Structure 1
Amino acid sequence: MFIFSIFIVISIVLYVYYKVAIVKSKDGLTQAYFNAKSRICLGSFVLFFTANQYILYQTKLSLFIGIVLLIVGVPQIYRGIKEVKHYRNEWKRLNPS
Protein backbone atom coordinates (compact mmCIF):
# COMPACT_ATOMS: atom_id res chain seq x y z
CA MET A 1 0.00 0.00 0.00
CA PHE A 2 1.12 3.49 -0.77
CA ILE A 3 0.18 4.91 2.62
CA PHE A 4 2.44 2.45 4.44
CA SER A 5 5.32 3.45 2.17
CA ILE A 6 4.88 7.08 3.20
CA PHE A 7 4.81 6.14 6.90
CA ILE A 8 7.90 3.95 6.45
CA VAL A 9 9.88 6.78 4.86
CA ILE A 10 8.73 9.32 7.47
CA SER A 11 9.59 7.05 10.38
CA ILE A 12 13.06 6.19 9.07
CA VAL A 13 13.81 9.86 8.33
CA LEU A 14 12.75 10.84 11.85
CA TYR A 15 14.83 8.00 13.28
CA VAL A 16 17.94 9.28 11.51
CA TYR A 17 17.10 12.87 12.53
CA TYR A 18 16.89 11.98 16.21
CA LYS A 19 20.07 9.90 16.08
CA VAL A 20 21.95 12.86 14.56
CA ALA A 21 20.41 15.15 17.21
CA ILE A 22 21.82 12.84 19.91
CA VAL A 23 25.32 13.33 18.54
CA LYS A 24 24.88 17.11 18.31
CA SER A 25 23.53 17.50 21.86
CA LYS A 26 25.83 17.87 24.85
CA ASP A 27 23.24 17.46 27.62
CA GLY A 28 22.72 13.89 28.86
CA LEU A 29 19.02 14.42 29.56
CA THR A 30 18.43 15.75 26.05
CA GLN A 31 20.35 12.83 24.58
CA ALA A 32 18.24 10.36 26.53
CA TYR A 33 15.06 12.15 25.42
CA PHE A 34 16.09 12.06 21.76
CA ASN A 35 17.08 8.40 22.11
CA ALA A 36 13.59 7.63 23.40
CA LYS A 37 12.04 9.50 20.45
CA SER A 38 14.27 7.58 18.04
CA ARG A 39 13.18 4.32 19.69
CA ILE A 40 9.54 5.19 18.91
CA CYS A 41 10.45 5.95 15.29
CA LEU A 42 12.36 2.68 14.94
CA GLY A 43 9.46 0.69 16.39
CA SER A 44 6.97 2.40 14.10
CA PHE A 45 9.25 1.73 11.12
CA VAL A 46 9.28 -1.98 11.95
CA LEU A 47 5.52 -1.97 12.51
CA PHE A 48 4.68 -0.23 9.22
CA PHE A 49 7.21 -2.31 7.29
CA THR A 50 5.68 -5.49 8.67
CA ALA A 51 2.15 -4.42 7.77
CA ASN A 52 3.25 -3.38 4.29
CA GLN A 53 5.03 -6.66 3.58
CA TYR A 54 2.14 -8.79 4.80
CA ILE A 55 -0.42 -6.84 2.76
CA LEU A 56 1.85 -7.00 -0.28
CA TYR A 57 2.64 -10.74 -0.23
CA GLN A 58 0.01 -12.43 2.02
CA THR A 59 1.90 -15.67 2.46
CA LYS A 60 2.48 -17.80 5.53
CA LEU A 61 6.16 -16.93 5.51
CA SER A 62 5.46 -13.20 5.53
CA LEU A 63 2.94 -13.78 8.33
CA PHE A 64 5.50 -15.60 10.50
CA ILE A 65 8.19 -13.02 9.82
CA GLY A 66 5.64 -10.28 10.49
CA ILE A 67 4.75 -11.79 13.85
CA VAL A 68 8.41 -11.91 14.83
CA LEU A 69 8.89 -8.30 13.76
CA LEU A 70 5.79 -7.26 15.68
CA ILE A 71 7.24 -8.92 18.76
CA VAL A 72 10.32 -6.74 18.23
CA GLY A 73 8.62 -3.49 17.15
CA VAL A 74 5.72 -3.06 19.57
CA PRO A 75 7.88 -3.22 22.73
CA GLN A 76 10.20 -0.62 21.18
CA ILE A 77 7.27 1.76 20.74
CA TYR A 78 5.95 1.04 24.24
CA ARG A 79 9.35 1.53 25.91
CA GLY A 80 10.00 4.67 23.88
CA ILE A 81 6.68 6.21 24.92
CA LYS A 82 7.39 5.45 28.58
CA GLU A 83 10.89 6.95 28.32
CA VAL A 84 9.64 10.07 26.53
CA LYS A 85 7.10 10.70 29.28
CA HIS A 86 9.72 10.15 31.97
CA TYR A 87 12.37 12.39 30.44
CA ARG A 88 9.84 15.12 29.59
CA ASN A 89 8.69 15.20 33.22
CA GLU A 90 12.30 15.14 34.40
CA TRP A 91 13.15 18.11 32.16
CA LYS A 92 10.14 20.04 33.48
CA ARG A 93 11.23 19.27 37.04
CA LEU A 94 14.77 20.50 36.45
CA ASN A 95 13.77 23.54 34.35
CA PRO A 96 10.71 25.15 35.92
CA SER A 97 9.27 27.92 33.79
Structure 2
Amino acid sequence: GMVVGSIAGKLSHAVRAVDAGVDFVIVQGYEGGGHTGEVALSVLLPQVVDAVGDRVPVVAAGGIYDGRGVAAAMLYGASGVWVGTRFMLTPEANTHAKYK
Protein backbone atom coordinates (compact mmCIF):
# COMPACT_ATOMS: atom_id res chain seq x y z
CA GLY A 1 0.00 0.00 0.00
CA MET A 2 2.90 2.49 0.10
CA VAL A 3 3.64 4.72 -2.89
CA VAL A 4 7.36 4.78 -3.75
CA GLY A 5 9.23 7.20 -5.98
CA SER A 6 12.85 7.61 -6.94
CA ILE A 7 14.98 10.62 -7.88
CA ALA A 8 17.02 10.20 -11.05
CA GLY A 9 19.69 12.47 -12.50
CA LYS A 10 20.42 10.21 -15.45
CA LEU A 11 18.21 8.40 -17.95
CA SER A 12 19.66 5.02 -16.99
CA HIS A 13 18.82 5.63 -13.31
CA ALA A 14 15.20 6.45 -14.16
CA VAL A 15 14.81 3.34 -16.31
CA ARG A 16 16.39 1.15 -13.63
CA ALA A 17 14.13 2.59 -10.94
CA VAL A 18 10.99 1.99 -13.00
CA ASP A 19 12.13 -1.53 -13.87
CA ALA A 20 12.57 -2.11 -10.11
CA GLY A 21 8.93 -1.16 -9.53
CA VAL A 22 8.73 2.46 -8.36
CA ASP A 23 5.35 4.15 -8.70
CA PHE A 24 6.77 7.42 -10.06
CA VAL A 25 10.12 8.94 -10.94
CA ILE A 26 11.45 12.42 -10.17
CA VAL A 27 13.75 13.67 -12.93
CA GLN A 28 16.32 16.02 -11.43
CA GLY A 29 18.28 18.37 -13.67
CA TYR A 30 21.56 19.95 -12.64
CA GLU A 31 19.71 23.21 -11.97
CA GLY A 32 18.45 21.88 -8.63
CA GLY A 33 19.91 23.44 -5.50
CA GLY A 34 22.81 21.44 -4.11
CA HIS A 35 22.67 18.68 -6.71
CA THR A 36 25.54 17.41 -8.78
CA GLY A 37 23.82 16.14 -11.90
CA GLU A 38 25.45 16.76 -15.25
CA VAL A 39 22.39 17.07 -17.50
CA ALA A 40 20.00 20.00 -17.82
CA LEU A 41 16.37 19.29 -16.98
CA SER A 42 15.34 20.51 -20.45
CA VAL A 43 17.45 17.72 -21.96
CA LEU A 44 16.86 14.94 -19.42
CA LEU A 45 13.12 15.32 -18.87
CA PRO A 46 11.98 14.58 -22.46
CA GLN A 47 14.36 11.60 -22.60
CA VAL A 48 12.88 10.10 -19.44
CA VAL A 49 9.30 10.86 -20.49
CA ASP A 50 9.93 9.08 -23.80
CA ALA A 51 11.54 6.10 -22.05
CA VAL A 52 9.19 5.49 -19.11
CA GLY A 53 6.36 8.02 -19.25
CA ASP A 54 3.94 5.40 -20.54
CA ARG A 55 4.61 3.29 -17.41
CA VAL A 56 4.75 5.78 -14.53
CA PRO A 57 4.21 9.48 -13.84
CA VAL A 58 7.35 11.56 -14.41
CA VAL A 59 7.89 14.53 -12.08
CA ALA A 60 10.29 17.35 -13.00
CA ALA A 61 12.75 18.87 -10.49
CA GLY A 62 15.58 21.36 -10.71
CA GLY A 63 15.37 25.11 -11.08
CA ILE A 64 11.57 25.28 -11.09
CA TYR A 65 10.42 28.28 -9.08
CA ASP A 66 7.53 29.94 -10.91
CA GLY A 67 4.64 29.32 -13.28
CA ARG A 68 6.84 29.52 -16.37
CA GLY A 69 8.99 26.68 -15.07
CA VAL A 70 5.90 24.61 -14.32
CA ALA A 71 4.50 25.29 -17.80
CA ALA A 72 7.81 24.36 -19.44
CA ALA A 73 8.00 21.10 -17.50
CA MET A 74 4.47 20.21 -18.54
CA LEU A 75 5.28 20.97 -22.19
CA TYR A 76 8.24 18.59 -21.92
CA GLY A 77 5.82 15.91 -20.74
CA ALA A 78 6.06 15.99 -16.94
CA SER A 79 3.07 14.84 -14.91
CA GLY A 80 3.97 17.31 -12.17
CA VAL A 81 6.82 19.28 -10.61
CA TRP A 82 8.91 19.02 -7.45
CA VAL A 83 9.88 22.37 -5.94
CA GLY A 84 12.39 22.51 -3.11
CA THR A 85 14.90 25.33 -2.72
CA ARG A 86 12.33 28.02 -3.55
CA PHE A 87 10.51 27.30 -0.29
CA MET A 88 13.62 27.91 1.81
CA LEU A 89 12.87 31.65 1.63
CA THR A 90 9.40 31.39 3.14
CA PRO A 91 8.69 32.55 6.70
CA GLU A 92 7.59 29.00 7.57
CA ALA A 93 10.98 27.50 6.69
CA ASN A 94 13.52 27.14 9.47
CA THR A 95 16.26 28.33 7.14
CA HIS A 96 18.99 30.36 8.85
CA ALA A 97 18.58 34.11 8.25
CA LYS A 98 22.09 34.41 6.77
CA TYR A 99 21.15 31.83 4.13
CA LYS A 100 17.87 33.55 3.28
TM-score between the two structures when normalised by the length of structure 1: 0.27
- Ranked by relative contact order (alpha carbons within 8 Å, sequence separation 6 or more), the top structure is 1
Instruction: Considering fraction of residues, name the structure with more helix.
Output: 1
Structure whose residues are more often strand by fraction: 2
Structure ID, larger Rg: 1
